[in-house]
Amino acid sequence: MPLLAALDYASVFVFALTGALVASRAQLDLIGFIFIASLTAVGGGTLRDLILNRDTVFWVANPVYIGVAAAGAIIVFFTAHLLESRYRGIVWLDALALSVAVPSGVGAAVALRMPDSIVVIMGIATGCFGGLMRDVVCNEVPLVLRQGELYVTCALCGGTVAILLIHVTGALPLALLGCAAATFALRAGSILWHWRLPVYKSFPPRQ
């Protein structure tokens, strides 16, 4: 399906940029950049395809995806020093990548006629696990697990919006567009206005 392929390409490229920016913070060499960028770019989609038991993992069927990730890594290798704040660049690019990857996972699951709950979970997996792998490998606190951070919540809301739109309109492209918009809007709001979820606090507090 051309739409799903386009979402995968966009997700791979933007997530590769975030992976390479994290690699720049770790001061890795060019091969390290390409490795981290590729891991970030295809990690979530690989998990999605394995769980859904698709015929072939998307980047194995079409190795061009790895080339796209490598191109993103090379671009960042030569330009990362121009960014005033690499961390802020990572956060915003990651928000953009999340808003593309979640509908990609949703669309893949819908194409296989999965139940609504699995569709939402595949959106979350596709959007979140590449970044989780990136941060763990680079010894950073995973963005998806930072205290109160709206990240997985954004993917969950985006997937839910997609399901609602599918049932109401029956139009998958519109549902995926709504999914992307809802995911990005919620994530951008959390970055700009510091929206947070309440975190667990033991009661009574430990002495």
Does 206 have pLDDT greater than 80?
A: no
Q: Residue 40: what pLDDT?
A: 97
Can you give the pLDDT at residue 63? Answer: 96
Q: Confirm whether 207 is domain-assigned.
A: no
| Distances 145 to 16, 83, 136 between C-alpha atoms, Å | 20, 25, 11
Cα separation, 173 vs 3, in Å, equals: 8
User: Residue 207: is its pLDDT beyond 60?
Assistant: no
Amino acid identity for residue 99 in this structure: S
Number of domains in the chain: 1
Q: Which two tokens stand for residue 114?
A: 């999965």
- The torsion of the CA quartet 104, 106, 109, 112, rounded to 10 degrees, works out to -80
Per the domain annotation, does 45 fall within a domain?
yes
Q: What's the CA gap between 168 and 24, in Å, rounded?
A: 44
Residue 205 counted as domain residue:
no
Entry pTM: 0.92
What is residue 147's DSSP assignment? T
User: What's residue 154's pLDDT?
Assistant: 97
Residue 147 maps to a domain: yes
202 pLDDT above the threshold of 90: no
Nearest to 85 by CA among 25, 138, 159: 25
pLDDT band for 87, please (50, 70, 90 cuts): confident
Tell me the residue range of the domain where 37 lies.
Answer: 2-193
72 with 11: CB under 8 angstroms?
no
Query: Where residue 1 falls among pLDDT bands split at 50, 70, 90?
Result: low
- Mean per-residue pLDDT, 108-114: 96
Q: How is residue 2 written in tokens?
A: 């051309």
Express each pLDDT in 15-37 by its tens digit: 999 999 999 999 999 999 999 99
Residue 46 lies in a domain: yes
The count of other CB atoms within 10 Å of the CB of residue 88 is: 12
31 within a domain of the structure (yes/no) = yes
Helix-strand-coil percent breakdown of the chain, rounded to 5? 80, 0, 20
Q: Which of 106, 108, 22 is nearest to 72 (CA)?
A: 22
Q: Which of 105-109, 139-143, 184-188 has the lowest mean pLDDT?
A: 139-143
Residue 71 belongs to some domain of the structure: yes
Residue 117 confidence (pLDDT) above 60: yes
Enumerate the β-bridge partners of residue 196: 149
For residue 99, being part of any structural domain is answered with yes
pLDDT at 66: 97
Tokens of 109: 């699951």
Span 127-161, pLDDT tens digits: 999 999 999 999 988 888 887 789 999 999 999 99
